[in-house]
Amino acid sequence: MSPLVSWRSVSTATRWVLCLLLVMTMGTASRELPGNGIVLWNGPKQVDLYVGEHPALQALAEQPTFNWIGENTEPRTVATWARAAKGTSVPLVLYGIPGRDLGRHSAGGFANSEDYLAWVGAVAHHLGDAPAMIVVEPDALGQSLEMSAEEREARLRTLRIAVDILKENCPEARVYLDASMWVSPGTMADLLHRANVGRADGFSLNVAGHADDRSAFEYGDTLSAMTGDKQYVVDTSRNGAAGADESEWCNASGLGLGRRPGTLVVQHPRVDGLFWIKTPGVSDGTCNGGPPAGTFWLPKALELASNAAL
């Protein structure tokens, strides 16, 4: 029996040993994949249940969005998605880092780095050589600045190993470490370097945010120049409404769908594409009248559709 397949059944110590063995067998060369022309798998989504009654939501249903997975996701699920994708890229967000969201609306994650990395290994095993786009741990780097130096270094080490595991075991996956636009480019570049962006394919921006495209490109191009001209992707799932209040991030009002997933921007060649990384219509948490984080919220989905700038 593969230890990766049976990751839930083994002890924490065994998981950590297996994770170390994975890393020890890895090469050190970085293999980056070309980003242009990526076709994402458009799998089943929560919004599909509402389209019949609300035709305006077809705009959400017909576009691919990323699948967020964490401590409650059985890694075998990823293999099921890869088979269903039939050669298109499986869009994934890893969201299970220990201390996730620092106890805020999306609090949770694995109890420790050993269990987390064993789970990353299991996900990588089940994804295998299927094409994929993987965003690694939204906000984990930005929020690490609120941690003690010791805690921050532990998190950066965890992310370094996670990137190694994914790049070594998933040869057709593009891997992006998440970068937080509220952090200065210089500070974020240092965090990215320490988290192994050199081996990743690039970084992601504006995940679950609503900064306009121009702001994202300005920040992204600056950050790319500081990280060896790394490529990046931008989340446009809810940045289509001009004039939205960028100071309010949690279930902000007046947002709209941004440009369609897969859009390329010729003026910014470091952009691998614009994508809907945050699932449109999913709540940020119990703020501004919203349900718990990750729950589909029909009024918010209808608002995004009505304010869309596709």
Residue whose tokens read 């230890």: 3
Distance of alpha carbon 53 from alpha carbon 55, whole angstroms = 6
What local confidence, expressed as pLDDT, does residue 257 receive?
97
Distance of alpha carbon 61 from alpha carbon 64, whole angstroms = 8
Residue whose tokens read 């921050």: 152
Helix (H) or strand (E) holding 94: strand 90-94
The reported pTM is: 0.89
Distance of alpha carbon 310 from alpha carbon 65, whole angstroms = 15
Q: Which three-class secondary structure state does DSSP give residue 309?
A: coil
Helix (H) or strand (E) holding 19: helix 12-24
pLDDT in tens, the chain (310 residues): 333 334 444 555 555 445 554 544 444 343 555 556 789 999 999 999 999 999 999 999 999 999 999 999 999 999 999 999 999 999 999 999 999 999 999 999 999 999 999 999 999 999 999 999 999 999 999 999 999 999 999 999 999 999 999 999 999 999 999 999 999 999 999 999 999 999 999 999 999 999 999 999 999 999 999 999 999 999 999 999 866 666 787 889 899 999 999 999 999 999 999 999 999 999 988 999 999 999 999 999 999 999 999 8
Lay out the sheet containing 173-178: strands in order across.
Answer: 67-69, 90-94, 132-136, 173-178, 202-205, 231-235, 271-275
Smallest CA-to-CA distance from 138 within 186, 190, 91, 100 is with 100
What local confidence, expressed as pLDDT, does residue 143 receive?
98
What local confidence, expressed as pLDDT, does residue 7 receive?
47
Tell me how far apart the terminal alpha carbons of the chain are, to the nearest angstrom.
48
What local confidence, expressed as pLDDT, does residue 248 receive?
80
Task: Give me the domains of the chain, ranges plus CATH numbers.
Answer: 7-31+39-306 (3.20.20.40)
What local confidence, expressed as pLDDT, does residue 38 receive?
87
Which residues are known to be catalytic? 101, 139, 284
Smallest CA-to-CA distance from 299 within 251, 258, 259 is with 251
Beta bridge partners of 68: 93
Are 150 and 111 in contact, with CB atoms under 8 Å apart?
Answer: no
Helix (H) or strand (E) holding 158: helix 149-169
